Amino acid sequence: MSTTTGTMGRVRAGDGPSGVQRFAWGSLVLTLTTIVMGAVVRATHSGDGCGRFWPACEGRLVFPGTDDVSRLIEFSHRMISGVNLIAVAILVVLVFRAFASGHPARRASAWTMGFLLFEAGLGAVIVLYGWVAHDRSAARQVSVPLHLVNTFLLTAAFTYTVWTVRGGLPPVLRGSRALVRPIAALAVLLLLIAASGATTSLADTLFRSESLAEGFRADFSQESELLVRLRVLHPFLAVGGGALLVWFAYRHLDEAERRGRPWPPRLLAGGVVAQAMLGVVHIALLTPLVTGLAHLAIAQVLWVAFVFLALTLLEPERAGRAI
């Protein structure tokens, strides 16, 4: 694809420099890794590993030598989060240097930084108020799904950044109601599934069951905590939403192929099936850490594929190469 450049060689249209493209992809992968690492902190009750200090750990900015596994896990998460923040800051600088004023990549990278800063701020509040480890407060029950939903918004902004850096055009919303409405509805549904999944995961962490039978009884017992009884929502939302996603992916597969990007609908459909199977295994094994982390990682990848598919379908018609 040809490009035109303005003052100081900044890109006005078309693909950005290959180095910026690779850095954007790498930063997205780092962000997904950081999100999964955050789940390790929650699942291992390590959120209070550094005490009620932030960003310092027990009042120190360097790792306080210790054999405390919780502290090691929490400190490691903070370090990778810091590296992630630096990487995104560098990406924003690279994008603003590579693209001219008004280019969508600039806005996309700025939104990405905004969501990342909000994510860091929310994490700080959670630590400083002690909504971690074994805390069962209502505030924690609200903050955990909010935290995860924001990661999805962050990932969406990041995906759009990658899209624009690689030459994708901004979506056209006017005159596209037949596409915009189902895409918006599915996006909201996916966020609800994510929020319910976070609630379920927190319930599994705080209220462990020794057997499947015990877990099912707790789900439907009026004596159980509300958080536990809410667990039943996630499977129903996930199955229904997954079926709609597969339908949407196959419905628009031909159009995605025509536009040279067949991988998003294929990944979306195949990933939903894999995610459903993993969900069953996760429950059958009494929600171990490994399958829980894989479940979260696949959910984030599916979200990236969905955003790419939406951008593909809403992109103005033009002759372009695959992204």
Calpha distance 10→95 (Å, rounded): 9
pLDDT (tens digit per residue) in 235-252: 999 999 999 999 999 999
- The DSSP symbol for 4 reads E
Across the chain, mean pLDDT equals: 91
pLDDT at site 64: 65
Q: Which has more pLDDT, 136 or 17? A: 136
Cβ neighbours for 293, distance < 8 A, ≥ 6 positions apart: 36, 39, 40, 43
Q: How far is CA 134 from the centre of its chain?
A: 24
Read off the tokens for 124: 């700080």
Q: Which tokens sit at 95? A: 């994008």
Residues 162 and 33 in one domain: yes
Domain end position, chosen among 105, 135, 169: 169
| Cα 261 to Cα 250: distance, rounded to the nearest angstrom | 13
- For residue 265, what are its two tokens? 């609908």
In this predicted model, what pLDDT tens digit does every residue of 264-322 receive, in sequence order?
999 999 999 999 999 999 999 999 999 999 999 999 999 999 999 999 999 997 644 55
In a domain, 13, yes or no: no
Kindly state whether residues 268 and 283 are assigned to the same domain: yes
For residue 112, give the nearest of 147, 79, 158 by alpha carbon: 158
Total domains in the fold of the chain: 2
Residue 273 lies in a domain: yes
Region class of 169: left (phi > 0), else alpha (psi between -120 and 50), else beta: beta
Q: Is 58 within the bounds of a domain?
A: yes
Neighbour tally for 288: CB within 10 Å: 12
User: How many of the other CB atoms lie within 10 Å of CB of 221?
Assistant: 11
197 shares its domain with 278:
yes
Identify whether 286 is part of a domain: yes
Q: Is residue 92 domain-resident? A: yes
Residues 146 and 228 in one domain: no
**What kind and span of H or E run contains 13?**
strand 11-13
Query: Mean of the pLDDT values across residues 134-155?
Result: 96
2 contact partners, CB below 8 Å, separation of at least 6: 14
